[in-house]
């Protein structure tokens, strides 16, 4: 077991045996309710377990079952849950939490995977850029492929996947609007690979830690935060219902970029450089500073930010744990463990020692 897993999950492994999952009885079976996630649903019957997955508009994009039934109408049967292809570092991270990393036989690109996720030495990379090597995938003959659909992806883009016997499981965590909703997808994966109690208990512990540290919405001393830098000349910021926005709210921050100009979706929207500069000037903190390693690189990125770079004192970057290959565990470990990100943000807001931070560093 890796050092990170031992350090971060030692308190979790003792509780799974006594965790009780709340249920909701219905005439068609037993619904296993989620706490936050909106885009998957688990249900058990006397013979089977059914997983249903939804897209952002809540249309059904995948239904799977495993159990004693031979067939169920319009639901794909999962015969094997070994030999897993993971097309995202986040999925690999969840599988490692569930002690199932040895079941991963291929990934999107091994170069993107942090070294603390202990993958097999002979594992294959089957994606170059956004292009999936279909021949390599079929030759592996996996039991499950954990993939995702991007918002706006046309149905014909995935038609060939639906026609084959390989089960593509659409993990739509990236479309959830709350940090704990994203993290809750470990439960869907746990049920798929036969570890429902362990996955439920790990998620419960994460959610409890997150909720314990959440700042009440009427917290009076809220500092203001501004995020990001221009990307190819365009300044993106999270929308009103984005999980990042929720994280900062839960950590007790006021959101600078939504003042007087709200966008209610879950993704990102763009603002002008002039508006961004105005928000930075009024903000107490400026965070998530692109790929800049220091203030010189930040200034070179956009010279018109010179005054902000020189005079702002509370700048924080989220790259404290960069790997040698520049993989940033903030994007995968942070998505799986939002309680850790929340703890960092609260430590920053409270002016605690920089040594208490895990993902962030003073810039």
- Render pLDDT for 281-306 as a digit per residue (tens, 0 to 9): 889 999 999 989 998 888 888 888 88
Of 361, 210, 195, residue with least CA distance to 293? 361
How far apart are the C-alpha atoms of 334 and 208, rounded to whole Å? Answer: 16
CATH of the domain at 118: 3.40.50.1980
For residues 160 and 137, is the Cβ–Cβ distance under 8 A?
A: no
| 3-state SS class at 138 | helix
Same domain, 186 and 253: no
169 pLDDT band, cuts 50/70/90, is: very high
Per-residue confidence (pLDDT) for residue 225, from 0 to 100: 96
Q: Identify the domain containing residue 97 by its residue range.
A: 3-211
For residues 180 and 120, is the Cβ–Cβ distance under 8 A?
A: no
| 3-state SS class at 245 | helix
Per-residue confidence (pLDDT) for residue 81, from 0 to 100: 81
How far apart are the C-alpha atoms of 277 and 21, rounded to whole Å? Answer: 48
Same domain, 271 and 317: yes
Is the pLDDT at 261 greater than 80? The verdict is no
| Continuous segment of H or E residues that includes residue 181 | helix 179-183
CATH of the domain at 294: 3.40.50
Give 80-109 pLDDT, tens digit per residue: 888 999 999 999 999 999 999 999 999 999
How far apart are the C-alpha atoms of 108 and 123, rounded to whole Å? Answer: 10
In a domain, 219, yes or no: no
In a domain, 276, yes or no: yes
Higher per-residue pLDDT: 280 or 3 = 280
| Continuous segment of H or E residues that includes residue 32 | strand 29-32
In a domain, 277, yes or no: yes
In a domain, 216, yes or no: no
Same domain, 239 and 157: no
| Continuous segment of H or E residues that includes residue 20 | none
Last residue of a domain, one of 211, 236, 253: 211
Q: Are strands 315-317 and 361-362 parallel, antiparallel or unpaired?
A: antiparallel
Give 140-160 pLDDT, tens digit per residue: 989 999 999 876 555 545 555
CA 255 vs CA 227, 323, 343: distances in Å: 9, 30, 18
In a domain, 27, yes or no: yes
| Continuous segment of H or E residues that includes residue 151 | none
In a domain, 170, yes or no: yes
Same domain, 18 and 157: yes
Per-residue confidence (pLDDT) for residue 25, from 0 to 100: 42
- Across 116-142, b (16+ Cβ under 10 Å) vs e yields ebebeeebbebbeeeebeeeebeebeb
Look up the pTM and report it: 0.88
Mean of pLDDT values over 243-255: 95
- Across 229-245, b (16+ Cβ under 10 Å) vs e yields bbeeeebbbbbebbbbb
For residues 118 and 96, is the Cβ–Cβ distance under 8 A?
A: yes
Angle at 12 between CA 217 and CA 109, to 5 degrees: 90
Is the pLDDT at 13 greater than 50? The verdict is no
Is the pLDDT at 1 greater than 60? The verdict is no
- Backbone φ, ψ for residue 331 (5° rounding): -75, -30
In a domain, 217, yes or no: no
For residues 104 and 86, is the Cβ–Cβ distance under 8 A?
A: yes
Last residue of a domain, one of 184, 211, 238: 211
How far apart are the C-alpha atoms of 95 and 92, rounded to whole Å? Answer: 5
How far apart are the C-alpha atoms of 191 and 193, rounded to whole Å? Answer: 6
Least confident of 14-28, 77-91, 158-172, 319-333: 14-28
Is the pLDDT at 139 greater than 80? The verdict is yes
Is the pLDDT at 172 greater than 90? The verdict is yes
Number of domains in the chain: 2
Same domain, 134 and 251: no
């Amino acid at each position: 077991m890796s050092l990170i897993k031992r350090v971060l999950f030692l308190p979790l492994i003792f509780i799974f045996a006594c965790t009780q999952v709340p249920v909701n009885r219905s005439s068609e079976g037993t619904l296993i309710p989620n706490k936050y996630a909106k885009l998957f649903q688990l249900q058990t019957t006397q013979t089977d377990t059914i997983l249903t997955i939804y897209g952002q508009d809540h249309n059904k994009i995948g239904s799977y079952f495993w159990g004693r039934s031979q067939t169920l109408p319009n639901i794909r049967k999962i015969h094997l849950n070994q030999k897993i292809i993971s097309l995202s570092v986040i999925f690999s991270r969840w599988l490692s939490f569930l002690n199932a990393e040895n079941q991963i036989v291929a990934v999107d690109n091994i170069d993107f995977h942090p070294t603390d996720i202990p993958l097999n030495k002979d594992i294959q990379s089957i994606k170059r850029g956004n292009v999936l090597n279909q021949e390599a995938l079929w030759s592996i003959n996996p039991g499950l492929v954990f993939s995702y659909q991007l918002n706006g992806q046309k149905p014909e883009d995935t038609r060939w996947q639906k026609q084959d016997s390989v089960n593509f499981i659409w993990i739509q965590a990236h479309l959830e609007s709350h940090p704990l909703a994203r993290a809750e997808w470990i439960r869907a994966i746990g049920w798929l690979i036969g570890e429902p109690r362990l996955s439920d208990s790990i998620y419960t512990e994460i959610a409890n830690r997150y909720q314990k540290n959440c700042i009440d919405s009427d917290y009076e001393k809220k500092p203001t935060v501004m995020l990001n830098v221009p990307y190819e000349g365009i300044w993106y910021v999270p929308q009103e219902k984005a999980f990042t926005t929720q994280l900062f709210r839960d950590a007790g921050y006021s959101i600078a970029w939504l003042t007087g100009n709200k966008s209610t979706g879950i993704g990102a929207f763009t603002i002008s450089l002039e508006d961004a500069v105005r928000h930075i000037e009024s903000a107490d903190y400026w965070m998530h500073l692109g790929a800049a390693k220091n203030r010189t690189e930040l200034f070179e990125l956009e010279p018109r930010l010179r005054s902000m770079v020189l005079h702002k004192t509370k700048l924080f970057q989220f790259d404290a744990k960069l790997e040698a290959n520049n993989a940033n565990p903030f994007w995968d470990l942070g998505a799986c463990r939002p309680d850790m990100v929340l703890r960092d943000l609260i430590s920053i807001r409270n002016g605690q020692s920089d040594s208490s931070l895990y993902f962030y560093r003073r810039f």
